[in-house]
Each structure stands twice: as structure tokens, then as C-alpha cells.
Amino acid sequence: MIILMIVGSIFTLLGLYLLYIRLYYHRYAQVKPATVVGMRKVISHNRGHNSSGSKVLYYPIIEYSFEGENYRFRAGGSSNAIFNYKIGKKVKVLSLRYGPESVMLRGSSHLILGVIFSLAGLIACFLGFSQMNKVDWADPFDLFFNLAPLLSLFFFALGLLYKVKVSSKKGHPAKSSHSTKKGMFKDAILETSESMADENVFLNEFELKKEIESVAKGGVIVSMAFFILSLLGCSFFWTKLPKEVKTSLFEWMENPIQYESILSYFKKAQPELIGLCFCLFMSLAGLNGLRYLKKRL
């Protein structure tokens, strides 16, 4: 119960913080035109320097103008960014007055991530709160080990809210501390001429296209293996499916309006049926991945 509430509170605070950042940019930032001038490849190692535990992310490098000078910054990265941005592509950025680092892409994921984290946190908090009736509040030991973490989290949240309030006096940037704001909204990593000379930075469409083809070929192999394994899973769960469930499925496919029978098996959490549906969904996801990568080859 306490673990759920603590984890949920952390997720909620993180989500609200991301939402605050995104909404602040939306309200006070200036929309500026920008251009994709490169793509940076970053390899992160999860287990030391073992290549099998590494992950490759791609960060578009965006050039925009701030106070009459051109700056280049590294936008948010992902494994799919290499497919979504081309050299020379025109984009929009949100720029605050606090410095060239206070900038983000107009289509930043802060809003989506903020909503996801906030909802996940609130659900976890609700589930934890619903179990509070099981706590023996008459037991001092039980009382202490349930309330102490919650009180710590409460004071942490108060401190965080106070910091936000101080950094945004009365909600107007003109009345806030410039240095505090600059630190809070320093979202971008600026690129220099030296950093752009890195071999992992692609600066023209020819280099980028070669990298895209290499990534797409590897992705096709992974997606194909994923698709085949999902189909094998479908076959396995289908053979294990009780005869009466198969009959209900066929009846539902013949007449989708009559779904009460098949719905009753879902309500009973029939494991083979749930496994079959999960594998079917994964098969469709794998097939969609193959279709997506085929366009990139």
C-alpha cells in the first residue's frame, strides 16, 4: 500500500513537472522557424562496454536564431528519430528569452509524457489509498511505518511547490528570477563546431540515408523474428483453447453483434483466450513494423 502510494506520488509529481514545463513554454515562449541540419547517433551501454547491452538513439540537430545569432541544439532523441527527420527539414521551435539553451521543439513529447506519468501516478495512488483500510492504526509500529514515508513525501512535495512558486513569482516571467528560470528551463544541449565534427554526426542526406538503410535492415530482421514468434504463440494458444470457446469465437465472427458469449469468457479471465488475443495483437504490431520499415528501404 505504502509502496504504491510513494511510487504513484513520484510519478504524479514527475508528470506534473513535465506538464508545467510544457505549459510554460506554450504560454511564454516565442515560436521560431528552425531547420534540421544534422543527426547525432548516441550509443548508450547498459552493462559496461558490452555491445549486447547497448542502445542506439538518434538526436536531430536543430539550427535556429536567438538574439541575431544562429545556434544549434540537440533535440529529444529516440530510436525512430532517424526516420522522422531529414536534413533540411523545416520545423518550429519554442524559444524562451533566458538563453539559447531554453528551447524545445514545438512537437516535444513533454505534454504526452506528462499526461501519461500523471495518470499512472494517480492510478497507483488510488490503488494504494484503497488499501489503507487494511492498516492497523492502533498498532504504533504499523502507524509509524505507514505514515512516516507519506509525511516525508508530503514535505518533499511542499518544498518542490515552494521552489516552483519562488521561481515564477505571480506566474509572470518578467517578475521572476532570471538565473533561476534559466536553470529550470535549460532544456537543450547546444552543439558547437567541434562537437559537430564527431564521426557520429551525419551532416548530409547521403550519409543519413546510408545509416537509415542500415538501421532499417536490422529492424526488418528483428520485426520478422518478432512476427514469427507471435504467430507461433497464436498457434500454441489456439491449440490449448477449449472447444466451447472456439465455437463462441466462430459465432461471434459470423455475427459480431452477438458478443455476449465471448465476452463472458473474457470476464472469467480465460487464460488461453487472453494469451491468443495478446499474441494476435503482437503479430499485428510486428506486421505493422515490417510495413513501416519497408517504406524506409
Tell which of 201, 217, 237 closes a domain.
201
Instruction: Give the pLDDT confidence score for residue 220 in this predicted structure.
Output: 85
Domain boundary among 152, 174, 201: 201
Structurally, the chain folds into a number of domains equal to 2
Domain range enclosing 286: 205-294
Q: Give the pLDDT confidence score for residue 174 in this predicted structure.
A: 47
Whether 98 and 211 share a structural domain:
no
Contact 150, 34 (CB under 8 A): no
| 62, HSE (Cβ side, Cα atoms, 13 Å) | 29
User: What pLDDT is attached to residue 50?
Assistant: 52
CA angle 47, 52, 58 (to 5 degrees): 90
Please say which residue of 201, 221, 239 terminates a domain.
201
Q: Verify that 220 and 172 share a domain, yes or no.
A: no
Has residue 64 got a pLDDT over 90? yes
The one-letter code for the residue type at 170 is K
Same domain membership, residue 211 and residue 197: no
158 and 253 belong to one structural domain = no
Residues 159 and 182 in one domain: yes
Residues 193 and 209 in one domain: no
More confident residue, 70 or 46: 70
Beta strands in 75-212 (DSSP E): 90-95, 103-105, 189-191, 201-202
- Max mean pLDDT among 167-176, 195-204, 264-273 falls in 195-204
157 with 214, same domain? no
Average pLDDT, the chain: 80
Same domain, 145 and 247: no
Instruction: At 278, list the grid cell.
Output: 495478446
147 and 220 together in one domain: no
DSSP state letter for 78: B
Determine the pLDDT at residue 252.
Answer: 84
Rounded Cα gap, residues 229 and 283, in angstroms: 8
Considering the domain architecture, whether residues 8 and 113 belong to the same structural domain is answered as yes
Do 136 and 281 share a domain, yes or no? no
128 plus 10 within the same structural domain: yes
CA torsion sign for 191, 97, 110, 31 is: negative
Distance between CA atoms of 83 and 14, rounded to whole angstroms?
Answer: 29
